[in-house]
Structure 1
């Protein structure tokens, strides 16, 4: 084996299952070095040891860490792994205690994100959930440096504002944007999304729990003509049928989440059923105003496969049965388990012959 060069060892390691390559790295120093050069994915479990093991893996494609990563760590990662394309930092909290009160401090800020943007210009997917010190400066640097960025997850990042959204809107490659729980975003931010370069590329948008937006901002989303997935779950009482009807203009939409929008009624459902011909799944959980009239509107829909009607108290079994029997594309229907006792066994059997009932 000592006569084998790095190329031959690399070919041998390619024949070994990925989960077994770590064992192969213990054969000798050469195998350890070559295994490190071949490694493309790394999950960091001990951030405190990052500087000792990361230099072995200069060709990493994807790096994942749940906690303990700091700005200095990100600077080191950017210098060590310039070819990184996927960065997943999905937890982002560590705790300290002061004066018997628990404080939550975030170890990553705009400084760390700017360092990543400068050193890793091939980034395509960045997941930064629960990073409360990430704001406009870091996001702007990322957008300006990462010309191939397609996925950006900023869910529950408390400092993301309309100004950060304006920077994001300038992206010419972004396809998936998650702003779940970014409660500082308003209609002004949505206006930036609707007029920026991202209107031509954005396919998936999550605005769940962005409770400062209203019908005006949601109506502007009609300009995102390529949008395929949209979540407006728990966006608050400012979103009514005016915004719901406007969503009906997004002809490419396949997945739509209206859960817990208490001011959405049958008017919105009629518009959605009539205009969204490509809709595959619709979530109406907790929409208390909808009735059988809105549900029956989907009876002749040609592509709908999943309909979620949990906590829809004004929808009756007869409405669901008629819609299911006439909507030939339907495969799943989620129903409130409390409705089960009000539906006859025969009715449940009739529905089950056409699609699967999932009780929640």
Structure 2
């Protein structure tokens, strides 16, 4: 890829290999220029909860991927700038097919979405021809197009419970979320794909136990994608942590809980970008990461320089072919028709 020369003041947005675009500081002048460009281009900026704080702060809307995609569909602006990873921008395009959808760096992928592709899903479906396919929204457009019903981490239990108990279920791609759903529903005819988000999977039970011992009065907010979710339930079940302090929550659920918590300290098991929104939602609470190294390198590819380049040059545009988008949209709409659209991932 050629080096970009998008300029701002005395700086340039420079392509810096696998780490993305660099060379621009997120100061007041940058913020003013980003908002000016967004207005001039009739664009709205959406930022995922795991983005860099500067990106979250400049965005018009911050949230989880599904909530942001629904905002994209309803937005008056003609252009959507999605500051997140690629499958999220695809979902926005699926729900807003007539809009131009841009991602500041198209190389921002996702280890969880990449853990199953369309060919693998077709093969799995062939082994279980009568099964209902339930896919987490953290999947590619092609996989959504082969899915019967999508789900989010906050409504996955509800979605699976809506399916005839005699039908097999193929749940993908996250094995930890699938295990959580199986525990909650007690369903025995549910097959779970062995995929994972490498960041969430890396937040382990030993770390959670050690942090809980260091902060004995803290609440625990644990994302169901985490490798430590089972450990959290074990700690509660064995009485090491009171059950009412252990909360398995989506990112949206974490924000809701933060706004009403009476705790002085909360340990958070998810990607560390979430701490920025939690601290804004409840500034009087001490939020601490269970693993402060749980940073997604793909999310952090959306740098101030990348966002400046995106708005200046109109790159990178996201495309989903019409047939795939129609099939994928149907799987999302079936989820919404069940009841709660959920709080996203």
Q: State the TM-score, normalizing by the size of structure 1.
A: 0.28
- Greater share of residues in helix: 2
Task: Look at both structures and tell me which one has the larger radius of gyration over its CA atoms.
Answer: 1
Q: Which has the higher contact order (CA 8 A, sep 6+)?
A: 2
Q: State the TM-score, normalizing by the size of structure 2.
A: 0.29
